[in-house]
Amino acid sequence: MARLRSGAVTAVVVLVAVSGCKPGQSEGSSGPRGGGSGAVLAAVDSLTVKGRAPKTGYSRTRFGTAWADTDSNSCDTRDDILKRDLRNVRFTGGDCKVSYGLLEPDPYSGKDITYRRGSSQVDIDHVVPLSDAWQKGAKYWDASKRIALANDPLNLIAVDASTNRGKGDGDAATWLPPNTTYRCVYVADQVAVKKKYGLWVTAAEKAAMKKVLTGCPGQKLPTGGNPTRAPERFRAR
């Protein structure tokens, strides 16, 4: 399903062959699901607060091969998310490889962007960066849980590449989307992912999350996505 974007007049619902729904939405619904007003703030309060652990030992490979087909639909995760998030999608060589689509608007910048395969205009962003996850609990997980996080649609979104590159591994205390109308959804997505996977937050991060979310008390907590363990074939990695 297409992500709900704050400030949008109409929510466009696109059915796609991807496990789980775009952060901010739930299966079988055109809007966010979870608790009602205040539920996302309650979820923030439920998160464990600890200091950021050292980055020692982190590498992208600790979260498995990039864009693994964990939902077994024969398409890699990157193309699944492009199909979900872009409009007017075109394919090359079947119905997996997205060759063209429109990101209207990009949630992080608010700009309209045209995606063409092989170009660098669009990134698939981990809403909770993998390095941030590593420093807040994922270091201690088994490989299958890290692979699941890296490929969970709840934690993934197609965004403007240039805007995303400024995010790095920042959490809510150090980076928020320049598009201010999207910040409530963005932070709610981070809360949902951290709650689902049992990741902790720093005190500064929790304060930043609550500061954003108190401005949108009706924001709901997203649910859905993939299981928190990758399928058996990935577990030995």
pTM: 0.85
Work out the angle between the directed axes of helices 203-213 and 39-46 (0-180°, nearest 10): 180
In angstroms, the first-to-last Cα distance of the chain is 31
Residues in CB range of 144: below 8 A, 6 or more apart: 229, 230, 234, 235
Beta bridge partners of 91: 98
Q: Which residues of 71-88 are buried (b: 16+ CB within 10 A; e: fewer)?
A: beeebbbbbbbbbbbbee
pLDDT 10s per residue in the chain (237 long)? 334 444 433 333 333 333 344 554 433 333 334 454 589 999 999 999 999 999 999 999 999 999 999 999 999 999 999 999 999 999 999 999 999 999 999 999 999 999 999 989 999 999 999 999 999 999 999 999 999 999 999 999 999 999 999 999 999 999 999 999 999 999 999 999 999 999 999 999 999 999 999 999 899 999 999 999 998 787 654
Residues in CB range of 140: below 8 A, 6 or more apart: none
